[in-house]
Amino acid sequence: MNEVATIGHNQAPDPIDEALAPYGDYITEAEAWLDGAAVENETQMKAVDALLKEIKAAEKALNAARDSEVKPLHDVYKAAMERYKPTQADLDRIKKCLIAAVDGFKRKLAAQKAEAERKAREEAESAAQALRDAHAKANASDIESQRAIAEAEREAEIARIKAAVAKKDSGVKGMITKTFYEVTDHRDLLHWIAKNDRDAITAFVEEYARKNHSLGAKMAGLRVWQDKVAK
């Protein structure tokens, strides 16, 4: 009698399982070795080297299985990305051209609005000061001084409202505040960084040494040597 098929019976084998199947015993043995103890003799060294060879082979097989499964998907992904790139690039060019076309006028308009807001603010401050002066000079029994206070209050309120409106209208749509910088003296800046951000200098020096240590003795403050290590 035929064996009854179960759910998943016809599923393709997992490429990871297939790739690692020949190396299962070696992986298990390696895990048993790795209990925190270091190699102490040549016999142990040879055993570990043999295991390491098999684990490297397992890694190579796993990478091959991964590439075999992933590459077709990645090729489809890359093809789709490439198909969009020309249109995206052209839209980006159009966007940048439009921004460049309007940039000068927006800067000019923003400057005009900023100046109008400054003047309105100064007029409001002046009107507020005039009101304070009127109060200081006021005579409770002098109708003219009281009328002067009322007029100063009215003018101060009008000026305050104009300043508030100018402030609200001081922005220009489609603009952002962007920070620019220029190194005016590299030596001065380097000295400042060395004094105020030594970690940044240390990180730069260590990265520079990593990339350029082949210069060896040509570089002051750097020691370069060779030694044999396990691989």
How many Cα neighbours within 13 Å face the side chain of 47? 12
Other C-beta atoms closer than 10 Å to the C-beta of 103 total: 12
How many structural domains compose the chain? Answer: 1
Q: What is the pLDDT of residue 154?
A: 86
In one-letter notation, the amino acid at residue 140 is A
State the Cα–Cα distance between residues 46 and 34, nearest whole angstrom: 15
Q: In this structure, is residue 224 part of a structural domain?
A: yes
Q: In this structure, is residue 223 part of a structural domain?
A: yes
Structure tokens at 179: 């920070």
Q: What is the pLDDT of residue 74?
A: 93
Give the residue carrying structure tokens 């000026």. Answer: 159
Q: In this structure, is residue 186 part of a structural domain?
A: yes
Structure tokens at 213: 């240590």
In one-letter notation, the amino acid at residue 205 is V
User: CB-based contacts of 158: which residues, under 8 Å, 6+ apart?
Assistant: 127
Q: What is the pLDDT of residue 134?
A: 82
User: CB-based contacts of 139: which residues, under 8 Å, 6+ apart?
Assistant: 145, 146
Q: What is the pLDDT of residue 139?
A: 80
First and final C-alpha spacing in the chain: 55
List the pLDDT tens digit at each of the 231 positions of the chain. Answer: 444 444 445 677 899 999 999 999 999 999 998 999 999 999 999 999 999 999 999 999 999 999 999 999 999 999 999 999 999 999 999 999 999 999 999 989 888 888 888 888 888 888 888 888 888 887 878 788 888 888 888 888 888 888 888 888 777 788 888 888 999 999 999 999 999 999 999 999 999 999 999 887 788 889 999 888 888
CA-based nearest residue to 121, from 164, 163, 161: 163
Q: In this structure, is residue 205 part of a structural domain?
A: yes
Q: In this structure, is residue 101 part of a structural domain?
A: no
Buried b (16+ CB within 10 A) or exposed e, 212-221: eeeeeeeeee
Q: In this structure, is residue 191 part of a structural domain?
A: yes
Q: Are the beta carbons of 152 and 127 closer than 8 angstroms?
A: yes
Q: Which domain holds residue 202?
A: 181-231
Query: What angle separates helix 24-33 from helix 42-137, to the nearest 10 degrees?
Result: 80
Q: In this structure, is residue 53 part of a structural domain?
A: no
Max distance between CA atoms of the chain, in angstroms, equals 122
Q: In this structure, is residue 89 part of a structural domain?
A: no
User: CB-based contacts of 51: which residues, under 8 Å, 6+ apart?
Assistant: 26, 29, 30, 33
Q: How far is CA 201 from CA 133, 205, 214, in A?
A: 58, 6, 21
Other C-beta atoms closer than 10 Å to the C-beta of 58 total: 19
Q: What is the pLDDT of residue 193?
A: 94
State the Cα–Cα distance between residues 197 and 206, nearest whole angstrom: 15
How many residues in total does the chain contain?
231
